[in-house]
Amino acid sequence: MRPNSHKCKLKLKSKKIYLIRHGQTDYNKRGMVQGSGIDAPLNETGYQQATAFFKAYRDISFDKIYISTLQRTLQSVQSFLDLGIPYERLSGLNEINWGEKEGMPLSEKDHDYYLKVTSAWESGQVDLGIAGGESPLDVQSRQKVALKHIITQTDEKTILICMHGRAMRILLCELLNYHLRYMDTFPHTNLGLYKINYSGKRFSIEWTNDTRHLNGFTT
């Protein structure tokens, strides 16, 4: 993917960004709707994924770790925090709010509704939200605040960000200056890694949803 200019006009320093999705929860396992209104913990598999990621990347000198306000992101990086690495919770990194569908198993009717909404997003109607929830534009708006805060920390050269699947897709569109209709271009899995380089002007992706660490890969 070609990097594009970010709109921020400040003179900023380069960064290496390790962006991960949280580990598996029972909601993920059971295919239930899990947005910002569901504060579910990791399940056993999720903790195993978090441990595998830590073993692979514990020698990276992270200056800071950023997480959402939901416990599944904290639990996914807890081993790094135990090393004394500073961290910050940002609500702007929270998952999209799925409104009335949160915490619910997807019935056939719900699944059809979900497909209708996501198809509308793909057609460019990114101001459309799930009933009672957020639209992709809503999420992007709060992410811009979080992103500005993160990239203006000039003493942080290597950072780890742990967040959520749909929110990651929206953030990656913002970083690469893609229209939100293309957010599903970016795959994600539990504890999958995007390695991103920021030049101070542009973001570029080095690794896309890398999962080698889940199969015993170490740096």
Is residue 122 annotated as a catalytic residue, yes or no? Answer: no
Q: Choosing from 6, 44, 88, 95, which is the catalytic residue?
A: 95
Residue 22 annotated in active site: yes
The residue from 6, 22, 188, 213 that is catalytic is: 22
Query: Sheet holding 87-89: strands in order across?
Result: 4-5, 202-210, 193-198, 15-21, 158-163, 64-67, 87-89
CB contact set of 22 (below 8 Å; sequence gap of 6+) = 42, 46, 70, 72, 73, 75, 76, 162, 163, 164, 190, 191
Q: At what angle do helices 165-176 and 136-151 cross, to 10 degrees?
A: 70
Q: What is the DSSP letter of 31?
A: T
**Residues 196, 209 contacting (CB under 8 angstroms):** no
* Calpha distance 13→154 (Å, rounded): 6
CB 49 within 8 A of CB 77: no
Closest CA to 142 of 95, 183, 92: 92
List, by residue number, the catalytic residues: 22, 95
